[in-house]
Amino acid sequence: MEQPQNRMEQLQEQLKIVKPESPWKIAARRFAKNKLALVGLIILVLMSLICVIGPFLSPYELNQTDVKNKNLAPSAEYWLGTDKLGRDILLRVMLAGRISLTVGLVATAISVAIGATLGAVAGFYRRYADTIIMRIADVFLALPTLPILITLGAILSDLKVAPDQRIYFLMLIIGLLGWVGLARLVRSQILTLREQEFMQATEALGLRDSRKIFLHLMPNTVPIIIVSATLGVAGAILTESVLSFLGLGVVPPTPSWGNMITAANSLIEFRKRPWTWIPPGLCILITVTAINLIGDGLRDALDPKMKNR
């Protein structure tokens, strides 16, 4: 009697319906197999934690000057040395990281919101809406981004906008100029998705256009949006760094990695005091590289064509 019972249990186990994994679990497993992407994620998390928590553990203050201790080389007291005003460079690098990462995240969020929405509307309605939105996108593509950013930065300087408020204008400007690429990607994806069977079902149900776009079409473009947003953060950080280096972005006394590298403008600082500009430069290099590694890993994990690699 035991053998038939055991066989019955085995048959029941074999006949059990295996619940399929969700696409997100599959993508997470693929991402976890990408060692370079995991290294980039770990580096980015550590960098973010250091920038957020580190300043609270520092015994110094942001604008605490000490002329007696100016231009000191790295030591046990000042791990990354001091600048020409005697300020602790390690503290300023960590606080600058907050600014640079915030600018990158917020500017990318603005460009993603605009680009995804306009791209979805253009792909769904087509005809006049598509023509108008894509021609506006062509105009933005034809504009020289860096000269425009430099001009707007100079205008903010002429208007004497406070340093703490310039950050918000900078995030808004970078976000408004960076939505075109994502809009084109989302539009092309929507043009394909709207011909699928599930969209014919929404037509039969008589759903509103807004419901079709935001509840049925947009969720299917999330992988493209995530990858584009990840790479957009790196681009926004580099853009902010360039503008701050030119004195048109975040301006002192508010620190950012870009305006800290301006110390390299002086030949004396460049040759004799490398600790004033190498740390922020390395932070930009490491952070942007880590974000790009994460973006490549997400692209490989979320793209169904990569599953047989």
> H-type helices in 19-162, by residue range?
23-33, 35-57, 89-125, 127-142, 145-158
Supply the pLDDT for residue 241: 84
Give the separation between CA 29 and CA 21, rounded to whole angstroms.
11
Nearest to 239 by CA among 100, 130, 69, 142: 100
Is the CA virtual torsion 155, 160, 163, 166 positive or negative?
A: negative
Total residue count of the chain as it appears in this document: 309
| Predicted confidence (pLDDT) at residue 255 exceeds the cutoff of 50 | yes
> What would the mean pLDDT of 141-159 be, rounded to a whole number?
82
Tokens at residue 59, please?
A: 């015994």
Q: Which DSSP helix (H) or strand (E) runs through 67? A: none
Spell out the domain ranges in the chain: 103-288
* 110 pLDDT above the threshold of 90: yes
**DSSP run (H or E) holding 219:** none
Residue with tokens 């609270």: 56
Distance, in Å, from the CA atom of 241 to the CA atom of 248, rounded to the nearest integer, reads 10
- Closest Cα to residue 181, out of 229, 147, 233? 229
Structure confidence at residue 259 as a pLDDT band (50, 70, 90):
confident
Amino acid at 1: M
* Contact yes or no for 298/226 (Cβ under 8 A): yes
Q: Mean per-residue pLDDT for 120-141?
A: 88
pTM: 0.80
Check whether 42 has a pLDDT greater than 90: yes
173-195 average pLDDT score: 87
Ramachandran bin of 72, using left for φ above 0, alpha for ψ from -120 to 50, beta for the remaining angles: beta
The CATH code belonging to domain 103-288 is 1.10.3720.10
